[in-house]
Structure 1
Amino acid sequence: MMPSYFFAHGAPSIVLEDNEYTKLLKNFKDNIPRPKAIVLFSAHWEESVQTVSATETYETIYDFGGFQDELYTMTYPAKSDRSLSERVRALFEKKGIQSVLNESRGLDHGAWAVLKLLYPEADIPVVALSVNRNLSNEHQYQIGKALSELREQDILIIGSGGTVHNLRRLNWQSEGNDDWAEQFDNWLQDKLESWDTEALFQYHELAPHAQEAVPTSEHFIPLILAMGSGDTNRQANLLHRSYQYGNLSLSCWQFN
Structure 2
Amino acid sequence: MLPSLFIAHGAPLLAIENNEYTQFLNQLGKNLPRPKAIVIFSAHWESRVQKVSDVEQYSTIYDFGGFPPELYTIQYPAQGNHELSQEIENLFNENEVPFETEMQRGLDHGSWVVLRMLYPNADIPVIAMSVNPILSPEEQYKIGKTLSGLREKDILIIASGGTSHNLRAVNWADSGVDQWALEFEDWLAYHLNHWDLDSLFQYDTLAPNAEYAVPPYGREHFIPLFYAMGAADNAKKAALLHRSFRYGNLTHSVWQFG
The two structures have a TM-score, normalised by structure 2, of 0.98
Deviation at 1:24? 1.2
Task: Say which SS state the counterpart of residue 84 (structure 2) adopts.
Answer: helix
Which residue identity does 1:246 align to in structure 2? G
After the TM superposition, which segments of 4 or more aligned residues of structure 1 sit over 2 Å from their partners?
none
Mapping of residues 193-208 of structure 1, within 5 Å:
193-208=193-208
Task: Say which SS state the counterpart of residue 219 (structure 2) adopts.
Answer: coil
Mapping of residues 78-89 of structure 1, within 5 Å:
78-89=78-89
Write out per-residue CA displacement over residues 23-44 of structure 1, whole angstroms, 9 at most, x where no aligned residue: 1110112211100000000000
The two structures have a TM-score, normalised by structure 1, of 0.99
Match for residue 231 of structure 1? 233
Q: Percent identity?
A: 58
How many residues of Structure 1 are paired with residues of Structure 2 in the alignment?
256
Match for residue 184 of structure 2? 184
Instruction: Kindly report the root-mean-square deviation, in angstroms, between the aligned alpha carbons of the 2 structures.
Output: 0.7
Which residue identity does 2:199 align to in structure 1? A
Give the whole-Å Cα distance in 2 for the aligned partners of 1:187 and 1:157.
24
Write out per-residue CA displacement over residues 10-56 of structure 1, whole angstroms, 9 at most, x where no aligned residue: 00111111122111110112211100000000000001100000111
Which residue identity does 2:123 align to in structure 1? D
Q: Is the 8 A contact 2:9 2:161 kept in 1?
A: yes
Give the whole-Å Cα distance in 1 for the aligned partners of 2:80 and 2:177.
38
Match for residue 52 of structure 1? 52
Which of 240, 243, 258 aligns to 1:241? It is 243
Give the whole-Å Cα distance in 2 for the aligned partners of 1:70 and 1:88.
35
Which residue identity does 1:222 align to in structure 2? P
Deviation at 1:174? 2.1
What 5-or-longer segments of structure 1 have no aligned partner? none
Give the whole-Å Cα distance in 2 for the aligned partners of 1:254 and 1:54.
26
Match for residue 168 of structure 2? 168
What 5-or-longer segments of structure 2 have no aligned partner? none
* Residues 1:217 and 2:219 are matched in the alignment: yes
Mapping of residues 137-156 of structure 1, within 5 Å:
137-156=137-156
Which residue identity does 1:72 align to in structure 2? Y
Match for residue 121 of structure 2? 121
Give the whole-Å Cα distance in 2 for the aligned partners of 1:135 and 1:15.
30
Which residue identity does 1:36 align to in structure 2? K
Deviation at 1:92? 1.2
Give the whole-Å Cα distance in 2 for the aligned partners of 1:99 and 1:174.
40
Match for residue 13 of structure 2? 13
Write out per-residue CA displacement over residues 196-229 of structure 1, whole angstroms, 9 at most, x where no aligned residue: 0000000000000000100131001111100110
Which residue identity does 1:195 align to in structure 2? W
Give the whole-Å Cα distance in 1 for the aligned partners of 2:213 and 2:29.
30
Give the whole-Å Cα distance in 2 for the aligned partners of 1:234 and 1:68.
41
Q: Is the 8 A contact 2:29 2:117 kept in 1?
A: no
